[in-house]
Amino acid sequence: MISVAMCTYNGSRYLPEQLESITRQTLPVNELIVCDDGSRDDTIAIIRAFAEKAPFPIHIYQNEVNLGSTKNFEKCLLLCRGDILLLSDQDDVWREDRVKKQVEYLNAHPDKDAVFSDALMIDDNSKSLKCTLWQGVEFVEQQQQKWLQGKAHEILFNGPVVTGATLAIRRSCLNRLLPFPTHIPLLIHDGWIALVLSLQDRIGFINECLISYRMHSSQQVGLGGKLEPVRMLDRFKRDRELKLAPIRDKAEELEKIYLHLRDYPYIPREKLIKLFLRLRHYQRRANLPHSRVLRISPVLKDVVSGRYRFSSRHWWLPALGDLLE
């Protein structure tokens, strides 16, 4: 049985196109579960009207209080009855074979509990932006090979790669994923699902754009903009506290993730060691002495040990920045 878990919030503008794309699937779904998080537009009316003609049952649940995307998806997934659950945003468009491709993958890979895909980026008017999600998060060939070698967790320690709108998971793995944590702001539901399953080597990918992912100003969650590169001249001019702020934020985020994962008995301890070493690296960077001379020794130690690769594949740039700024 195949269920779709869709969370909505003021999504009336794009919902009809998304709903129609789900009905056009070459492998039909068996149910659509909608959890609405307090919409004030025509979202519910659109879904109810669609439910009258849909070829599958649609169950609508309206939250009495706003849960936020992470807890709303948790509720929605628990309400699904299917063996395979496909996550859905309210404003994308599915390729006609999305369900078929992901179900076939999971059937062919019983060792995997989830699979995600790439997505074509589109604008407000459903026009292609001539780029993909994976290009945006730099999930390139080298990273994909590393993922296939069982090192997906090391990639995800650096930042998000998996977008929930492209995810399909087995319902049987929910007991290892729930409840979704909410005290780690940058790790929302899809990030948590991907990270936990990657630590068990139970998530795979399909190198195709199985959905069109909409980028617009009103979306509740989505891809953030890329940071502008820091020029060499800026490294001498910008305020040191401004430089340290994102490093401290990263250290705090990694510490929260590490402490939370440490309590899960089915997470391999040896994989958490890499996370701990990454955490300690960021903590050292965040607490380097103000004196440039006194920074030389600790920076060189992390250069020699190779730990600056935790900060960037261009490891010499953060190392140089730590010495000069």
Residue ranges per domain, the chain? 2-214, 232-324
Q: Residues 296, 302, 303, CA angle at the centre, nearest 5°?
A: 80
Query: Is the separation of the CB atoms in 323 and 313 below 8 Å?
Result: no
Residue 220 has what pLDDT? Answer: 46
Residue 239 has what pLDDT? Answer: 77
DSSP 316: H
User: What's the full length of the chain, in residues?
Assistant: 325
In words, the CATH class of domain 2-214 is: alpha beta
Residue 325 has what pLDDT? Answer: 83
Residue 38 has what pLDDT? Answer: 95
pLDDT tens by residue, the chain, 325 residues: 999 999 999 999 999 999 999 999 999 999 999 999 999 999 999 999 999 999 999 999 999 999 999 999 999 999 999 999 999 999 999 999 999 999 999 999 999 999 999 999 999 999 999 999 999 999 999 999 999 999 999 999 988 999 999 999 999 999 999 999 999 988 999 999 999 999 999 999 999 999 999 997 555 445 544 445 555 566 566 678 888 999 999 999 999 999 999 989 889 999 999 999 999 999 999 999 999 999 999 999 999 999 999 988 889 989 988 998 8
Tell me which residue of 270, 142, 254 sits closest to 200, measured CA to CA: 270
Calpha distance 73→239 (Å, rounded)? 40
Residue 232 has what pLDDT? Answer: 53
Helix and strand numbers (H, E) in the chain are 13, 9
Is the link from the previous residue into 179 a cis peptide, with omega within 30 of 0? yes
- β-pair partners for 36: 8, 62
DSSP 27: S
pTM (predicted TM-score): 0.90
